[in-house]
Amino acid sequence: MTRATARRRRTASALMALALAGGASTAALTLAAPAHADSWRDKEYWLAESGITKAWDVSRGAGVKVAVIDSGVDGRHPDLGGVLAGGADISGAGKANGQESIGAKPEHGTLVATMLAGRGHQAPEATAKPSASATGPAAGPAAGPDGVVGVAPEAQLLSVSTWLGSANPGGKSDQDQIPEAVRWAVDNGARVINISLGSTSPEWPQSWDAAFLYAEQKDVVIVAAAGNRVGGNVQVGAPATIPGVLTVAGLDRTGAASIDSSSQGISIGVAAPAEDLVGGLPGGGYADWAGTSGATPIVSGVAALIRSKWPEMSASQVINRIVTTAKDAGAPGKDPLYGFGVLNAEAALKADVPETKVNPLGSISDWIRVHRRGNLATTAPAAEPAPSSAAPTLPEATVPVAEKPSQLDSAVPAAVVLGFGALLVGIVVAAAFQLRAAMRTPPKDGPDGPDGTGKAEPEAVNPVDSSKPS
């Protein structure tokens, strides 16, 4: 097994084992039958303390779809009547509409959904009241006095069910499900995506890059849980470490960083209540619970309120509005426990915030360009980079080195020159001898001349009268 393969497997194991560690601890759940406002609605202290009830003066989330990537949402819960606008199962093990509760913590998705966009309900014995549609949008916070009301009670939800935390009978791994879920949510109109899950690893599979980049390019706000110390998440893990994601840390009942229900890390953007929470359960019940899984839908709900109030506002501006209006806590400025500070929903909806085009939590696009450099290996260590398939692999450039010419290289040309010179001299000499010989050759009449004396007869004075050939 290569180091890269082993590392990929370790990453996958961390993600699978603690995929919903940002959620409720089983021991923290207190099951109960549906109850009236005095036993459940009154427990929602964060609605007032985080400025949400005052933010409702401005917006209640109408017209915004929020995707809940989780264990499935039970749309039959009385507090979720009319809330679900669609869904899908990504795991291969749930119902096609995403409304079956699945995985190691099947109740998790319904808890998250009711805190995010619950609408409460009328008690069975209560006299039916007129619909709010006569005076304004239906399903406002006052539409149902009992049960749980969410932060954005007029928003609509998309349930994207995944099987996490145990072996998936559908066969898909978490590495496959998460990017597919994100893409489905974006393609089906989600303006905000809530991911109340985490891991013990700050790294994420490279296969996730494209999906989160796709969401960024489509201007979608992604909100993720920082994870819980009690679940083993001492430091923030993926996907909350992905640049551009709004990571939510947890607060205890006093407003301080939760010891059990929050991890820490430089990617944290804002902190919200994470202890003494309440939410709905599949089948119509309720539960007390804790964890950054519950803090995350509070922040996602505020993002939905902002996107409802300002539909044209970019995702970067939405995130910037949330973090810049947060109340500073802990060390001055941004810190690894509270991020930019404690959520203040009223300020996020009412304060004057300078416009920005930059996400204060970074950009996955920029990160990919700087850190991946075309390396397509999932988690390969730096010492074993895989070649990119996006560009041809070229040999390493080398610098030519000058070498001393060999004796053979220098002797052969000289010999050729000398040979041609000698040949030329020989030709000239031979031509000279031939010329001298031609000049000494006697006439054809005889070797001694015509008279036998060896002397040539003088030419006639008058060649016209001469009878001898010339």
Residues 6+ apart with CB under 8 A from 211: 178, 179, 180, 182, 183
C-alpha angle with apex 248: 38 to 80, nearest 5 degrees? 40
Based on the residue annotation, tell me whether 263 is a catalytic residue of this protein: no
Q: For 163, phi and psi rounded to 5 degrees?
A: -105, 110
Based on the residue annotation, tell me whether 365 is a catalytic residue of this protein: no
Active-site position among 50, 59, 70, 101? 70
DSSP secondary structure code for residue 257 in this structure: B
Active-site position among 59, 267, 293, 308? 293
C-alpha angle with apex 130: 128 to 132, nearest 5 degrees? 130
Burial (0-12, 13-18, 19+ Cβ within 10 Å), 416: exposed
Judge contact between 301 and 41, C-beta under 8 A.
no
Whole-angstrom CA distances from 276 to 30, 51, 223, 253 are: 11, 18, 21, 7
C-alpha angle with apex 252: 248 to 256, nearest 5 degrees? 80
Token reading at 351: 């304060």
Relative to beta strand 84-89, strand 119-121 is unpaired
Whole-angstrom CA distances from 402 to 14, 169, 405, 409 are: 55, 66, 9, 15
Active-site position among 50, 59, 74, 108? 108
Helix axes 174-187, 3-17, angle to 10 degrees: 60
DSSP secondary structure code for residue 230 in this structure: G
Residue 379's closest CA among 20, 13, 69?
Answer: 13
Residue 281's closest CA among 19, 21, 35, 22?
Answer: 35
Secondary-structure breakdown of the chain: helix, strand, coil percentages, each rounded to the nearest 5: 35, 15, 55
Based on the residue annotation, tell me whether 77 is a catalytic residue of this protein: no
Helix axes 174-187, 209-217, angle to 10 degrees: 10
Q: For 248, phi and psi rounded to 5 degrees?
A: -110, 125
**Rounded to an integer, what distance in angstroms lies between the CA atom of residue 141 and that of residue 158?**
20
Peptide bond preceding 239 in cis form (omega within 30 of 0): yes
Concatenating the DSSP letter of every residue in 362-425 gives: --HHHHIIIIITT---SS--TTSPPPPSSS---PPP------PPPHHHHHHHHHHHHHHHHHHH
Q: Which residues does the annotation mark as catalytic?
A: 70, 108, 293
